Structure 1
Amino acid sequence: MAHDHQKKDSMGKSRLVHGPIIVGAGPSGLAAAACLKQKGIPSQILERANCLASMWQLKTYDRLRLHLPKQFCQLPLMPFPKGLPSYPTKQQFLSYLKAYADHFDINPIFGKQVVNAEFDVVCGFWKIKTQEIMKNGDEIIIEYLCKWLIVASGENAEEVVPQIEGMEQFQGPILHTSLYKSGSMFCGKNVLVVGCGNSGMEVCLDLCNHNAHPSLVVRDTVHILPQQIFGKSTFGLSMWLLKWFSVQFVDKFLLLMSDLILGDTSQFGIERPKIGPLELKNLYGKTPVLDVGTVAQIKTGKIKVCKGIKRLAHNAVEFVDGKVENFDAIILATGYRSNVPSWLKGSDMFSEKDGFPRKPFPNGWKGEKGLYAVGFTKRGLLGSSIDAKRIAEDIETSWKSIKAKPLA
């Protein structure tokens, strides 16, 4: 009975936080905390995992490097250390994030899954309920109260796993890229990679490098651009050109250069969308793929391109064009989604459908009653930095007026 008593006891805890609560200790949450700290505003990060940047630490493959040059990926107020390559490795980026948290003395509370957050009109505070499962199976529920809530749980909170007919009959492993570390375990095997974004393309290349035989499912149209043009980053060059030219003009230039450098991808079964890469990104948040060597392997035939999947059987895959081929394993490079609607209640800031702020960039960062979002811009770490700075400035004005009065 004492055991039970402890469980009930732990449910009654309420803690007042004298500054914003930030949900999520990824790069976006750290950026927000640092920008607030610079203005003398304390904050508390609640993180469901047991480490900083859990997505980066636990759910990424070994060969991952940042896809954009480092100057577009550093967080506010602290640049990358000198001597890093243009495209830092996963380990270098994680070391930077740890140094960043240390530098700004950011100490998240780990192992706290936010299960519910809503604004209490009566007391005028956000009530954030967290759940922690102890090693002995006990559940600890704590409620935090604060004036400001910053959602930094990210665009990549939950894996998207498509339901494909015959999945339960397929004999080999089917794993999401969040569980893929390296191609070494697939040496000599036929592997089907589903999804042709940056992850799917890079996993295919990694499989090639480990002497596996990858095939890539390309269901939709996709823009593949070279990572560099004239020795300059394609992304950086695009940003520079956009200062002088229209999006449509820069898109035409990018497509012309891509055809010159990569060739016409449609002859390998990869069709480009009708809308240009930058315009498509602006309209729908769909990121073009930056090629790191995959296209060359598609050209040599080392990576086969397949149409969409119709169904799976015990060791075979039937495609929509009627082809049937045998595979030893399937890797789902099918991406991630936001999980905000599952825990944030009573606010219409985020869309129920996709868990993103309803207002498009650059206006999606601010909601009602002290609610904010950082890192939902579909513009990577650069977008997170912009959000973090705006949020800190916005909170600073109300912080100064409240600081004069006692909170409790």
Structure 2
Amino acid sequence: IVGAGPAGLATAARLQQARVPFVVFEREVTAGHSWRTRYPRLHLHTVGASSQLPGWPFPDHFPEYVSASDLAAYYDGYARTVLAPHVRYNATVTSAKPAADGKGWSLRVSIRTADGAVQWRRYEAAALVVATGQEGAPVIPPIEGRESFEGESMHSAAWRGGAKYAGKKALVVGFGNSGAEVALDLWEQGAAGVTVTARSPIHVLPRWLFSLYPHGMRSLLYFERFLAPIWLSDAVGGLLQRLLYSDLPSAGLQLSRAGVKSELLRHHRAPLLDIGTIELVRRGEISV
């Protein structure tokens, strides 16, 4: 398994339960490392019941929506407690090729030792799981004049909080979940003016909606998978959006007419889960 993030750890847990031998390679010194580098106010949008790993519930003191720092500690604790003998840290898989006999895989792995030296090893495996994440490489579109812009410019992956922007103006390009939360963070930290730009119509739903299900997203996904066709999920999502957010076009935000569930399944476009940004847009405290 390449990567000790949530997908890699969950896969490892199921293999361990099935008594299938495995090894997890993690290039950092801790599991779930990417969650350690996020901005302070970041929390999950899914409730705890649907976000924890197999066999290890979240501690009772965790809030309903877990913070990035708590999640990072939880993932690392899981790796070092539940999966301890199987995880290799400071281990980077540099190549994976079909084995010479056509059965399984041959992996080349570089391992950094405590003194900084690099050791190279080969591993043979019957199966390979790539769990390196889908959003690790920032996509920055070409923006004319960005190189000569005298202010600070960054991708949301580099965002570490809005405290140093108190009293300053800020423009957030993009109004998905990251953009909306960065805009909210800027406003909370006292930015003098926050403006967001939205290229396309958006889907928006309140985060609290997913707390209504007794087991969080798990029961919702079960309902949609076995009891409700996609068109019904699209219809319900569209109705909720019209009931709760029909006033947004007057504030400059256009609502998408495409199906919420269809967009998620076919194009990996998740709806904006509102945690307070929309009310600030309505009040004109965040401009569009």
Q: Which range, TM-score by smaller chain?
A: 0.7 to 0.9
Q: Which runs of 5+ in 2 are unaligned?
A: none
Structure 1 letter corresponding to 2:269: K
Task: Name the SS of the counterpart of 2:258 in structure 1.
Answer: coil
User: Does residue 160 of the first structure (1) align with residue 143 of the second (2)?
Assistant: no
C-alpha spacing 1:149/1:230, structure 2 compared with 1 (3 Å):
closer
Select 2:245's aligned residue among 254, 262, 267. Answer: 262
Separation (CA, whole Å) in 2 of partners of 1:93 and 1:137: 28
User: Does residue 172 of the first structure (1) align with residue 151 of the second (2)?
Assistant: yes
Separation (CA, whole Å) in 1 of partners of 2:146 and 2:92: 30
1:373-392 correspondence runs (5 A)? none
1:275-354 correspondence runs (5 A)? 275-305=258-288
Per the alignment, residue 373 of structure 1 pairs with none
Separation (CA, whole Å) in 2 of partners of 1:169 and 1:263: 40
C-alpha spacing 1:201/1:171, structure 2 compared with 1 (3 Å):
same
Separation (CA, whole Å) in 1 of partners of 2:217 and 2:255: 18
1:188-203 correspondence runs (5 A)? 188-203=167-182
Select 2:207's aligned residue among 221, 227, 230. Answer: 227
Select 1:55's aligned residue among 34, 47, 53. Answer: 34
C-alpha spacing 1:52/1:187, structure 2 compared with 1 (3 Å):
same
Separation (CA, whole Å) in 2 of partners of 1:216 and 1:296: 14
Superposition TM-score, scaled by structure 2 size = 0.87
Larger radius of gyration: 1
Structure 2 letter corresponding to 1:92: D
Q: Which has the higher contact order (CA 8 A, sep 6+)?
A: 1
Per the alignment, residue 108 of structure 2 pairs with 129
Cα shift readout 1:352-408 (whole Å, capped 9, x = no counterpart):
xxxxxxxxxxxxxxxxxxxxxxxxxxxxxxxxxxxxxxxxxxxxxxxxxxxxxxxxx
Structure 1 letter corresponding to 2:271: P
Per the alignment, residue 69 of structure 2 pairs with 91
Structure 1 letter corresponding to 2:101: V
* Matched length: 283
Quote the offset at 1:140 in angstroms.
4.3
Q: Which runs of 5+ in 1 are unaligned?
A: 1-21, 306-408
8 Å contact from structure 2 (residues 26, 87) kept in 1: yes
Question: Which of the two has greater strand per residue?
Answer: 1
Select 1:71's aligned residue among 42, 49, 53. Answer: 49
Separation (CA, whole Å) in 2 of partners of 1:24 and 1:231: 30
**TM-align CA RMSD:** 2.7
8 Å contact from structure 2 (residues 29, 90) kept in 1: yes
User: Does residue 27 of the first structure (1) align with residue 10 of the second (2)?
Assistant: no
Task: Name the SS of the counterpart of 1:49 in structure 2.
Answer: coil
What percentage of aligned pairs have identical amino acids?
31
Quote the offset at 1:262 in angstroms.
3.5
Separation (CA, whole Å) in 1 of partners of 2:10 and 2:241: 34
Task: Name the SS of the counterpart of 1:32 in structure 2.
Answer: helix
C-alpha spacing 1:66/1:231, structure 2 compared with 1 (3 Å):
closer
C-alpha spacing 1:138/1:100, structure 2 compared with 1 (3 Å):
closer
Superposition TM-score, scaled by structure 1 size = 0.63
Quote the offset at 1:135 in angstroms.
9.4
C-alpha spacing 1:180/1:125, structure 2 compared with 1 (3 Å):
same
8 Å contact from structure 2 (residues 30, 76) kept in 1: no
Structure 2 letter corresponding to 1:76: P
Cα shift readout 1:61-82 (whole Å, capped 9, x = no counterpart):
1111110111121222322233
User: Does residue 215 of the first structure (1) align with residue 215 of the second (2)?
Assistant: no
